[in-house]
């Protein structure tokens, strides 16, 4: 793997929550940066002073900030991050996702790691949480969504399987593939390119079984050939390939579970609010349901 891919990420941003049961993002960054010289910036968003309490004076506000900064730093080191390679950044904003997004751009982080609401193997009504959902719409930099219970005592953390990147062979996934390749090189893990084609929805009941199997095999072979051509053009000829038919989020989740994936990486079509009414976001579905961390990478 080229050296520039091995050193692609040098500064990590992580959204820090002070709740003891939501340290998954910090544990992931600790695992990713172990033994490296990467810098980690923990970003914690607090309400604007006037919004917090109009009666608080400047001195009291400074005392609050100092205490919160101390708490953030302690939480980061407790999660296993190297105290010499971390710093805390407090941001005042009444919208947490805006504070995180603008901080990521201002601080020049190469990736932003955040948590979601749902724990692994948990199926609550709210899985992502509004902050993470809105952050995935902004995508200031690659955003990695982590289950809150990642790396707890009875959980070994990163899976031993590959880094899986879902590719549709469009320009939306080029940057995602680069990010995934760099991560695979960093962790010395295999890279798996997963590419899907649409399943047949027309006249299925009228087509003989043998003919249907032949059509499906031909479709998979054609998709596999296109994937090989795309991978070669991207300099990823070394990667494993997996071709499927049907719903991409469903199949990527199945492959990630079957192969004990360390992470799933996907690009984003950056759907607008109107488009989201009619089209599902594969990246959001994956981030909400996967048992492993999911990285969503903006194109370009």
Q: What is the pLDDT of residue 269?
A: 66
Cβ partners under 8 Å of residue 185, min gap 6: 1, 5, 6
Q: How many CB atoms lie within 10 A of CB 170?
A: 11
Q: Which of 105, 246, 278, 270 is nearest to 172 (CA)?
A: 270
Order of all β-strands in the sheet with 263-267: 86-92, 39-46, 11-15, 111-115, 143-146, 294-297, 263-267, 163-166, 191-197, 240-245
Beta bridge partners of 241: 193
Domains and their CATH numbers in the chain: 1-149 (3.40.50.620), 158-300 (3.40.50.620)
Strands (E), the chain: 11-15, 39-46, 86-92, 111-115, 143-146, 163-166, 191-197, 240-245, 263-267, 294-297
Q: Which of 247, 257, 281, 251 is nearest to 267 (CA)?
A: 281
pLDDT at 125: 81
What are the residue ranges of helices labelled H in 34-129?
Answer: 49-52, 58-78, 96-107
Q: H or E segment at 249?
A: helix 248-258
Contact at 8 Å (CB) between 87 and 76? Answer: no
10-residue stretch averages of pLDDT, the chain, 300 residues long: 50 93 93 91 85 71 86 91 89 93 94 95 86 92 95 79 93 91 94 83 66 78 92 94 90 95 87 40 91 90
Model pLDDT, residue 210:
80
Phi, psi of 280, rounded to the nearest 5 degrees: -80, 150
Q: In the numeric block, which tokens belong to residue 64?
A: 């609050």
pTM: 0.88
């Amino acid at each position: 793997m080229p050296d520039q891919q091995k050193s692609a990420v040098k500064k990590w941003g992580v959204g820090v929550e002070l709740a003891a049961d939501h340290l998954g993002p910090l544990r992931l960054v600790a695992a990713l940066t172990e033994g490296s010289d990467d810098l980690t910036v923990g970003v914690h968003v607090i309400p604007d002073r006037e919004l917090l309490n109009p009666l608080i004076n400047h001195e009291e506000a400074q005392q609050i900030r100092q205490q919160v900064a101390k708490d953030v730093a302690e939480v980061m080191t407790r999660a296993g991050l190297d105290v010499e390679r971390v710093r805390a950044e407090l941001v005042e904003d009444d919208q947490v996702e805006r504070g995180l997004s603008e901080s990521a751009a201002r601080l020049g982080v190469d990736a932003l790691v955040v948590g979601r609401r749902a724990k692994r193997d948990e199926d609550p009504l709210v899985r992502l949480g509004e902050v993470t959902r809105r952050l995935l719409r902004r995508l200031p930099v690659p955003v990695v969504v982590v289950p809150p219970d990642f790396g707890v005592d009875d959980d070994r953390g990163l899976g031993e399987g590959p880094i899986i990147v879902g590719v549709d062979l469009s320009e939306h996934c080029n940057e995602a593939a680069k990010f995934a390749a760099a991560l695979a090189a960093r962790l010395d893990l295999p890279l798996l390119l997963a590419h899907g084609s649409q399943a047949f929805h027309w006249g299925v009941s009228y087509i003989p079984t043998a003919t249907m199997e032949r059509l499906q095999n031909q479709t998979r072979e054609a998709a596999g050939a296109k994937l090989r051509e795309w991978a070669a053009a991207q300099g990823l000829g070394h990667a494993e390939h997996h071709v499927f038919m049907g719903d991409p989020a469903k199949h990527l989740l199945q492959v990630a579970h079957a192969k004990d994936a360390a992470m799933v990486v996907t690009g984003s079509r950056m759907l607008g609010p109107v488009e989201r009414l009619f089209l599902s976001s594969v990246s959001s579905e994956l981030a909400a349901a996967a048992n492993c961390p999911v990285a969503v990478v903006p194109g370009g």
